[in-house]
Amino acid sequence: MTTGKTGGTTGDTTNGATGDATGGATGNLRTLTITRPDDWHLHLRDGDLMAAVLPWTTRCFARAVVMPNLRPPVTTAAAAAAYYERILDALHPDVDFTPLMTLYLTDTMKPAEIERAKAQGLVVAAKLYPAGATTNADAGVTDLARARPLLEALAACGMPLLVHGEVTDPAVDVFDREAVFIERHLRPLVESMPDLKVVLEHVTTRQAVAFVEQGPPTLAATITAHHLLLNRGAMFQGGLNPHFYCLPVLKREEHRLALVAAATGGSPKFFLGTDSAPHPRAAKEAACGCAGIFSAPVAIEAYAAVFEQAGALDRLEGFCGRHGPLFYGLPFNRGTLTLERRACSVPSTVPDGAAGDLVPLAAGSSLRWSVVAPPAGLIRGD
């Protein structure tokens, strides 16, 4: 990481976020150059919507783990390869971006599908959605015990299991679903399969942070920008705010603080996963609004704001560009991304590729770090 010295400060911090920037040891930096980051959890969607959102990710990220919860879900190596090709087709030819594909585990999938995907080389992980837990999760796994042969196939070929860690039991309060999932399902799984690499995706609670910290080196977690910036109060501030509704749902402030400590603390077990999940505005602002926060347009700027507030800008690079590749066993990116301490204005809406629009995280507000364009390494051959 290279840094430059400051003159002055700029801008507001975040959209309803808590606290002010405090500076700290790294608070006087003016520019920050880091290894080009990766997004280890991204919803790219498909078709026109994919084409509309893809540039928001490729402007910063070199690679992204692309979630398989399409309709129908990506359940075969062949479907993953076809989706990979559609993503490449939607990319501007000069853009250097590698989609890392995932398989969606189901009750009926056979272990041979995982072996096929491994041999094919495009799929890096498999996603466990408890059936019904979130958007397009109805075809997910109904009983972890039945998925055991799939998990053994993953362990045998060294492919990580990516977990949406929430129980779907309607008797469990929605704010407790992650903590209950850990005790009911994940702890027994991790203890019984020491060779299986597991990523607990988009952690939201202090219980999840403690579980990952105390677990074996085969256990890691992604953390979103929105769970770092916002607590559950944001959903209800001044009225009902559907654009802050996601799953797992935002939690109390004590949990947000635990996430900030985990992300900024330097542990290689925690890395960047935006869970950027675009839904057309009409689907969010509806009587029964969809879960998902579209954070790609402001992701890296938002993480920088969080790390600055924590006085930990020197650890941003590890979280964004080092810990993920180390866990997945992939090389570090060669390019760099430079941020400067200059306010960036977040648009209120961006086009969704059809007739509608999308509302990004921090819509209409200002963040204090901006990406210096064009990012070094963005263009092939740099």
* Catalytic residue ranges: 275
Residue 273 vs 375, nearer CB to Zn ion: 273
Least separation in angstroms between CB 110 and Zn ion: 25
Least separation in angstroms between CB 24 and ligand DOR: 31
**What distance in Å separates the CA atoms of residue 178 and residue 253, rounded to the nearest whole number?**
16
Among 15, 29, 36, 43, binds ligand DOR (CB under 6 A): 43
**Beta carbons within 10 angstroms of residue 108's beta carbon:** 9
Residue 73 vs 325, nearer CB to ligand DOR: 73
**What distance in Å separates the CA atoms of residue 298 and residue 123, rounded to the nearest whole number?**
27
Least separation in angstroms between CB 279 and ligand DOR: 6
Instruction: Note the helical H segments in 230-350.
Output: 253-264, 281-284, 299-309, 316-317, 323-328
Out of Zn ion, ligand DOR, none, what residue 247 binds, judged by CB under 5 to 8 A for its kind, is ligand DOR
Structure tokens at 148: 């055991």
CB neighbour burial string for 117-155, b if at least 16 within 10 angstroms, e if fewer: bbeeebbbbbbbbbeebbbbbebbbeebeebeebbebbb
Residue 134 vs 231, nearer CB to ligand DOR: 134
Out of ligand DOR, Zn ion, none, what residue 69 binds, judged by CB under 5 to 8 A for its kind, is ligand DOR
The contact pattern for Zn ion, residues 275-314, with x = CB under 5 A and - = no contact, is x---------------------------------------
Among 36, 59, 164, 185, binds ligand DOR (CB under 6 A): 164
Hey, which residues between 257 and 276 contact Zn ion (CB under 5 A)? 275
Among 277, 305, 316, 344, binds ligand DOR (CB under 6 A): 277
Residue 30's Cβ-side half-sphere holds a number of Cα atoms within 13 Å equal to 5
- What are the strands, taking DSSP E only, across 215-279? 219-223, 270-272
Among 125, 247, 310, 358, binds ligand DOR (CB under 6 A): 247
**What distance in Å separates the CA atoms of residue 352 and residue 149, rounded to the nearest whole number?**
39
Residue number, nearest CB to Zn ion: 275
What is the residue type of 199? V
The reply on whether position 41 binds ligand DOR by CB under 6 A is: no
- How far are the Cα atoms of 22, 85, 325, 381 from residue 338, in angstroms, in the given order? 22, 29, 20, 18
- Provide the angle, in degrees to the nearest 10, between the axes of the packed helices 253-264 and 206-214: 30
- How far are the Cα atoms of 105, 120, 204, 292, 328 from residue 248, in angstroms, in the given order? 19, 32, 7, 9, 23
Structure tokens at 266: 């330097």
The reply on whether position 205 binds ligand DOR by CB under 6 A is: no
**Beta carbons within 10 angstroms of residue 16's beta carbon:** 16
**Beta carbons within 10 angstroms of residue 311's beta carbon:** 16
Residue 291 vs 343, nearer CB to Zn ion: 291
Residue 155 vs 358, nearer CB to ligand DOR: 358
The reply on whether position 39 binds Zn ion by CB under 5 A is: no
Residue 147 vs 277, nearer CB to ligand DOR: 277
Out of Zn ion, ligand DOR, none, what residue 37 binds, judged by CB under 5 to 8 A for its kind, is none
What is the residue type of 153? A
Residue 132 vs 351, nearer CB to ligand DOR: 132
- Residues that bind ligand DOR (rule: CB under 6 A) add up to a total of 10
The contact pattern for ligand DOR, residues 287-306, with x = CB under 6 A and - = no contact, is ----xx--------------
Rg (alpha carbons) of the chain, rounded to whole number: 19
Among 76, 106, 135, 241, binds ligand DOR (CB under 6 A): 135
Least separation in angstroms between CB 128 and ligand DOR: 11
The reply on whether position 134 binds ligand DOR by CB under 6 A is: yes
Considering only the C-alpha atoms of the chain, give the largest distance between any 2 of them, rounded to a whole number of Å: 60
Q: Which residues bind ligand DOR (CB under 6 A)?
A: 43, 69, 134-135, 164, 246-247, 277, 291-292
Q: Which residues bind Zn ion (CB under 5 A)?
A: 275
